[in-house]
Structures are given as structure tokens and as C-alpha cells.
């Protein structure tokens, strides 16, 4: 099976994870996409991508211009879909490109729309937001399947769009566990203090940083934060400078997923599964990568009770659920935390089935099969278990 994958950002580690999932599921991948990095991405797991040029984070005008240029020159991408069994388009802009190329090629292969975040413009209650939603609905009617990662995205966003008729596959942001290795699932760390919170992955929330800075400063060495990943340039011009005067926060830089997850999470008692980047919308609806990573590698998630992440944990009686104002809730929790209480929460993580946290090869095969066997939708929005 051959999948043409249209990626929104070739430099995003999430693209590599998805390629590995599709490959494990038996697909041959042709990769096309924009990139946010200044440097070209020459190779992703042995695949040389077709580079559509650079787009800049938070510069919607620049991204729209680059998209328009790509649509005008779309004929050069016709060989991409030659003999493709299916197309997957990550995010709305790539859906537009993928559908344009398919039309020019005269192909009838199914197109899957992959949307794992709802951009603030998509959910905006204004004229530009309404235009984007109408465009999204129009493009989606030509697709065959929607892949998203959280039930809340369906409930709170897609189900509210007029005439949005598309089957949905929920593919959670689980760790890709292809080798079925004997990983140290949910190992119990020696109880603190000092208690360590891991903040790993896409670092894009300035409010989270302020909360964690105050928490560690008031903790006076009893609470530490270890951060690693990619700080969003549009949010943090210099992440290291922002934490330079706080001895209780350290930043380890970028890492490889899943290769470095064990060494990162073994440092943490807890993981920061809280996000205010798009508070009230996307931040409330998502189920983040770090939720599943922390469960697999043994850190106890910290989450807001009223969010989808909080509901997910509450349904399974896992993690630490916090209320607003979160800074006070955190102080109360850590001021009364005992070794015995921590060990009970860690033990609950350890007792949870590995399949809750990780995708195996069989799941990868199932997802690829759905993508390649889907047909143009003509039914109401429905959930398909992946």
C-alpha cells in the first residue's frame, strides 16, 4: 500500500512518529510538506521528502501566501500521487493542497484529513473564523476520513460544523511501541522531596512557565522542574534566558522520540499535562503526547480537572487532578504530599494495561487499512474505533 503524506511541518517530530506508524502498518510512504525550520529536512527515517518551502509559525499571512503559491504550482506534484492507494493530509492547509493535486491527477484515491489540533482561527467566533469553518467543511466533503486524537475535538468542534459529514477515526497520541520491548513501564521512583516535574515535548505555553517558576521558587528546593523539547519561537524568543535565574528549573534541549523518552521520564515523579496555549478551546480539548508518555514510563500526570485530559484521568482513577486557580491547587497538593501518597499514585499507573499508553504493530496495521479502504463520505459524522 502506498500513502502520499502531505505534512504541515517536516521539521516537527510528530511527522516522524506518524511516518513510523504508517510504515509499521505496511505502507510505503511518499512525503511532501512545508517546514518551519530554516534548514531543509533531507531525510526522515530513510525517506527523502519533497520540500514545499518554509512557513513561519504564527505568521498566518506568510503561510497563506506560501499555500497560494503551492496551489498555483500544484501540477509539479502530480507524480506524488501516481499509483497512490491513499492520501493523508495533516492540517487544513495540506488538505487544500492534497485535494488540488488529486483533482489535477484525475485520481479517485481516498483522502484522509488529519487534524490533531484546532487552531485558534478555526474556532474563533468572528467573521474570519466563520470563513475558515465554511472552507473546512467544503474541503472535508471531498475527503473520506477524519483522523483526530481526542473525543473532545469531535464533540466540541467537528460535530458543531454545519453539514460536516465525515467518518472519524480516533487515533490517540500514544507512544509508538513497535518492538514490544520490555520497557520500564510505570516504574516507581524513590519518593521525594525534592519532587521533580517533567515538562517535555512542544513547549509553547508561557502561562505554564510562569506557574512552574512561582511553584519552584516558593518550594525553595523541594520542587524541581526538568524541561526538554522544542520551545515555540513565537512564544519564547530565548527559553534558557527566561529560566536562567531559577536554579530549580533546568532545560535539556531537543530530544528524539521515542529513543530518549526513558532517560527523560526516569528523572520525573510527575509530568506536566497542562496547557493554556489556547485556553478554553484546543487546550481544554486535547489529549497530549506527554499524557501517554508519562504513563508508559512511570511519571504521574498533573492535569486540570475540567479539561479532557482531566476527564480521561478521572475515568481511570489516575493522576493528580487540579482545580483553578492552579497555583494554589499545586501548593496545597505538594504541601501535603507524603511518600506513601505518591507511591500509591505511581502504583496505580503501574497497574494500568500497557495498551492504554502505547500503540503496537497491530494498531498500526489497522489504521493503515482504514486509511486505504475508506471511500468518499456520504454519511453523518460517526466515530470509528482505531
166 shares a domain with 204 = no
Residue 18 belongs to a domain: yes
Instruction: Check pLDDT > 60 for residue 380.
Output: no
Residue 184 belongs to a domain: no
29 shares a domain with 120 = yes
What pTM was estimated for this model as a whole?
Answer: 0.93
- Kindly report the three-state secondary structure assignment for every residue of 162-215: CCCCCEEEECCCCEECCCCCCCCCCCCCCCCCCEEEEEEEEECCHHHHHHHHHH
Cα distance from N-terminal residue to C-terminal residue, the chain:
18
250 shares a domain with 230 = yes
Please tell me the least confidently modeled range out of 117-126, 140-149, 348-357, 372-381: 372-381
**Confidence category of residue 13, pLDDT binned at 50, 70, 90:** very high
Instruction: Check pLDDT > 60 for residue 381.
Output: no
Q: How many domains does the chain have?
A: 2
344 shares a domain with 269 = yes
Rounded average pLDDT over 356-377: 90
214 shares a domain with 160 = no
**C-alpha to C-alpha distance for 220 and 215, rounded to whole angstroms:** 9
Please tell me the least confidently modeled range out of 161-170, 282-291, 351-360: 161-170
215 shares a domain with 167 = no
Provide the pLDDT for residue 163: 80
Provide the pLDDT for residue 378: 46
Residue 185 belongs to a domain: no
157: its cell numbers: 468542534
157 shares a domain with 55 = yes
Instruction: Check pLDDT > 70 for residue 110.
Output: yes
Instruction: Check pLDDT > 50 for residue 246.
Output: yes
Provide the pLDDT for residue 267: 85
pLDDT tens digits, residue range 323-349? 999 999 999 999 999 999 999 999 999
Task: Provide the total of helices (H) and of strands (E) in the chain, helices listed first.
Answer: 16, 16
Residue 182 belongs to a domain: no
Residue 337 belongs to a domain: yes
Provide the pLDDT for residue 164: 87
Residue 283 belongs to a domain: yes
Cα-trace Rg, the chain:
21
147 shares a domain with 69 = yes
> Are residues 143 and 113 in contact, defined by beta-carbon separation less than 8 angstroms?
yes
Instruction: Indicate which CATH number applies to the domain containing 91.
Output: 3.40.50.2000
pLDDT tens digits, residue range 191-213? 889 999 999 999 999 999 999 99
- The residue range of the domain holding 147 is 2-173+360-385
Dihedral of CA atoms 44, 45, 50, 51 in degrees, nearest 10, equals 0
158 shares a domain with 201 = no
Provide the pLDDT for residue 379: 46
273 shares a domain with 136 = no
Residue 289 belongs to a domain: yes
167: its cell numbers: 467518518
Mean pLDDT, the chain, whole residue set: 93
Provide the pLDDT for residue 183: 56
DSSP strands (E only) in 245-368: 249-251, 270-272, 300-304, 320-322, 358-359
pLDDT tens digits, residue range 94-103? 999 999 999 9
300 shares a domain with 211 = yes
8 shares a domain with 84 = yes
Rounded average pLDDT over 213-235: 95
Residue 52 belongs to a domain: yes
Amino acid at each position: 500500500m502506498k500513502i502520499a503524506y502531505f505534512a504541515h511541518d517536516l521539521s516537527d517530530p510528530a511527522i516522524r512518529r506518524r511516518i513510523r506508524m504508517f510504515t509499521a502498518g505496511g505502507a510505503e510512504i511518499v512525503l511532501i510538506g512545508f517546514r518551519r525550520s530554516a534548514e531543509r529536512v533531507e531525510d526522515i527515517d530513510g525517506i527523502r521528502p519533497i520540500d514545499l518551502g518554509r512557513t513561519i509559525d504564527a505568521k498566518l499571512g506568510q503561510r497563506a501566501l506560501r499555500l497560494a503559491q503551492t496551489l498555483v504550482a500544484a501540477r509539479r506534484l502530480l507524480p506524488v500521487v501516481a499509483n497512490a492507494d491513499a492520501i493523508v493530509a495533516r492540517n487544513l492547509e495540506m488538505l487544500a493542497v492534497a485535494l488540488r493535486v488529486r483533482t489535477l491527477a484525475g485520481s479517485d484515491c481516498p483522502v484522509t484529513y488529519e487534524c490533531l489540533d484546532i487552531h485558534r482561527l478555526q474556532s474563533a467566533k468572528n467573521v474570519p473564523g466563520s470563513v475558515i469553518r465554511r472552507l473546512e467543511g467544503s474541503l472535508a466533503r471531498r475527503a473520506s476520513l477524519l483522523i483526530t486524537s481526542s473525543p473532545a475535538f469531535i464533540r466540541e468542534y467537528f460535530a458543531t460544523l454545519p453539514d460536516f459529514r465525515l467518518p472519524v477515526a480516533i487515533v490517540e497520541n500514544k507512544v509508538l511501541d513497535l518492538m514490544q520491548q520490555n520497557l520500564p513501564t510505570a516504574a516507581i521512583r524513590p519518593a521525594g522531596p525534592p519532587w521533580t516535574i517533567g515538562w517535555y515535548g512542544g513547549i509553547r505555553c508561557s502561562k505554564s512557565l510562569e506557574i512552574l517558576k512561582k511553584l519552584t521558587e516558593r518550594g525553595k528546593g523541594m520542587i524541581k522542574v526538568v524541561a526538554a523539547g522544542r520551545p515555540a519561537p513565537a512564544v519564547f524568543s530565548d527559553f534558557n534566558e527566561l529560566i536562567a535565574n531559577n536554579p530549580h528549573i533546568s532545560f535539556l534541549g531537543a530530544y528524539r522520540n521515542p529513543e530518549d523518552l526513558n532517560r527523560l521520564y526516569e528523572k520525573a515523579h510527575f509530568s506536566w499535562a497542562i496547557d493554556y496555549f489556547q485556553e478554553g478551546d484546543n487546550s481544554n480539548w486535547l489529549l497530549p503526547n506527554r499524557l501517554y508518555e508519562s504513563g508508559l514510563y512511570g511519571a504521574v500526570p498533573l492535569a486540570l480537572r475540567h479539561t479532557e485530559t482531566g476527564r480521561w484521568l478521572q475515568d481511570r482513577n489516575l493522576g493528580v487532578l487540579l482545580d483553578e486557580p492552579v497555583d494554589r491547587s499545586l501548593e496545597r497538593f505538594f504541601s501535603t504530599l507524603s511518600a506513601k501518597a505518591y507511591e500509591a499514585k505511581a502504583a496505580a499507573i503501574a497497574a494500568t494495561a500497557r495498551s492504554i499508553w502505547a500503540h503496537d504493530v497491530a494498531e498500526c496495521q489497522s489504521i493503515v487499512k482504514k486509511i486505504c479502504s475508506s471511500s468518499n463520505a456520504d454519511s453523518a459524522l460517526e466515530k470509528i474505533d482505531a
